Amino acid sequence: MNAREAAVAELERRIGYTFGDRDLLERALTHASVGDGARTVRHNERLEFLGDRVLNLCAAERLMALDPDAREGEMSRLMASLVNYHACSRAARAAGLPDALRLSASATKIGARKSDAVLGDACEALIAALYIDGGLESARAFFLKFWAEEFERLHEPREKDPKTQLQEWAQGRALPLPVYELVSRTGPDHAPCFTIAVTVDGFAPERGEGRSRQDAEKAAAQMMLLKREGPPPAGAQDEETGA
């Protein structure tokens, strides 16, 4: 047994399920970078599509079971905390997905095996494979096991994301809203890298990078926030004296 075969066996041990359809499992674990999109290579993108829907169903039914009287708006807010690529990537790591994935050498070299986005997609593909191979109960069992910690943290206060913090900071100083501009997009389609510049009136632009445009904007906002304790821009009103 080679290292990857051992990793797949460990994955099945952790999730408590042995696949009857080995080809289905292999497809769920195959990233689109393998074969550079060749039609002969069956990768996991279509399974991601199905897995996302199954994940949403499992999360929705669990939320309704936990609080039958919860309003739709509150459940939608909680759903957003449960169904996102950060939560999926945490579940993927706990299940042992990173070592079991099939990736191209180039994708591995640039760190795709550690990428939250890649792992999140693979997690959704695995959920779809469980649904197809073992039915909804198998997918639900995976969800309940690997989302248990997400539910424990569900009602904890959550820090606002950097873009929201930066917007509120600018508004508090009577400044225009931050402006985000795409500087560059590099890398292959399956592992892009975005560079975003954010500008706040009176301050030098700051840049951030990420695997998605949204992540790059958050990184740029965070860089700007790190410098928010500097002197106010020329012409801005002094917050303490009102001068």
Say if CB 194 and CB 215 are below 8 A apart: yes
Residue 180 predicted with pLDDT over 80? yes
Contact between 73 and 63 under an 8 Å Cβ cutoff? The reply is no
> What is the tens place of the pLDDT at every residue in 196-233?
999 999 899 999 998 888 889 989 998 998 876 544 44
Q: What percent of the chain has pLDDT over 70?
A: 90
DSSP E strands, 27-66: none
156 annotated to bind ligand: no
- Among 26-35, 47-56, 185-194, the least confident range: 185-194
DSSP 156-179: S--PPPHHHHHHHHHHHTT-PPPE
Q: pTM of the full predicted structure? A: 0.70
Residue type, 44: N
pLDDT digits (tens, 9 = 90+) for 111-136: 889 888 889 999 999 999 999 999 99
Say what the pLDDT of residue 235 is.
43
Q: Which of 5, 61, 72, 124 is catalytic?
A: 124
- Out of 52, 133, 150, 215, which one is annotated catalytic? 52
Share of the chain above pLDDT 90, in %: 56
* Cβ atoms < 10 Å from Cβ of 125: 29
Check the annotation: does 48 bind a ligand. Answer: yes
State mean pLDDT over 171-188: 90
Would you state the structure tokens that stand for residue 104, as one six-digit string? 């191209």
Q: What domains can you pick out in the chain, each with its CATH number?
A: 3-152 (1.10.1520.10), 162-225 (3.30.160.20)
Whether residue 5 has pLDDT greater than 90: yes
pLDDT band at 164 (very low <50, low <70, confident <90, very high): confident
124 belongs to the catalytic site: yes
Running DSSP on this structure, what letter comes out for residue 228?
A: T
In this structure, how many other beta carbons lie within 10 angstroms of the beta carbon of residue 120? Answer: 22
